[in-house]
A = this chain, B = another copy of it.
Amino acid sequence: MTPRVKDILENLNIEAPFNLAEPWDNVGLLVGNPEQEVTAVLAGLDPTNKLVDEAIARGANTIVTHHPVIFKPLSAINTAEPAGRLLEKALSNRIAIIGCHTNFDSASGGVSDYLALQLGLGNLRPLQYTDDNQSTDTGLGRLGIFPEPLSSGDFLTRVLNTLQLPAVQMAGNLPEKITTVAVCGGSGSDLATVAFARGAEVYLSAEIKHSTAIWAVENNFCIIDGTHYATEKPAVTLLVKKLSETIDKKGWKIQILQTKEECHPFVLLDRTHQL
């Protein structure tokens, strides 16, 4: 049997239930026909023209992205601009686009879970429980502990390796020994106070505002900004893995592909001008 787009949606709904999405979010099938048969699925972080081109080139007619292709509802589709051109390209090529955003952030085994696991953290609990229900394992961010305390140097090496970054920005003081760490893949500046109150020694997230950094310094807390892309990219690998397992179990003959073209939107430029 060949799965349809709605079958992929159904499987995603098990891994990252769409009703876990924040009220302001937009997830699920955002472009395309739920009845269409799937040739292959391509997964990436961001819905870009480059990603749609890659889907076409690799024969995938279904795309799953973390960030939703339609976020602010559309009043017009201007195909002279990249956002409109993307929709034109997808619709002309009968490519469906699915968004798994904050539902994948909050899911058990979701974005922050995987980031925490990659760092070697255990005993994971949500940083901010869904609906303040502390008996659940869903919610934004994760709080975990290392089996044994890490030195600041070892911790930093592990962070850079996990994020595959040459360097990160840090606010406050990194403790000499680190046991309890909070993480939140993507934009997590507003959860810094929660991480501090919950007893984390370090908080790894991204898009940390200046005011949050100043607050961390004043409170002698430590926050690392690992960039939005790098803290969420591991989640794509996870998504591909999960979907592939399902596909195999069901005996469906389609491939789940991970993007090869997507890259970090930011590059770090120093005085050597290495562009």
Contact = CB atoms under 8 A, between A and B. Distances in A.
A151 B215 CA distance: 39
- How many copies the complex holds: the figure is 6
Nearest to A80: B33
Given A187-B210, A265-B210, A268-B169, A273 B30 contact: no
Contacts of A174: 275
A31 B91 CA distance: 13
Interface in A197-215: 206-207, 209-211, 213-215
Interface stretch (A55-63, A68-76, A116-124, A241-249): A68-76
A34 interface: yes
Interface in A165-193: 166-172, 174, 186-187
B168 A269 contact: yes
A238 interface: no
A51 B83 CA distance: 26
Interface residues of A, number: 72
A228 interface: yes
A188 B207 CA distance: 13
Given A31-B77, A70-B76, A152-B275, A270 B170 contact: no
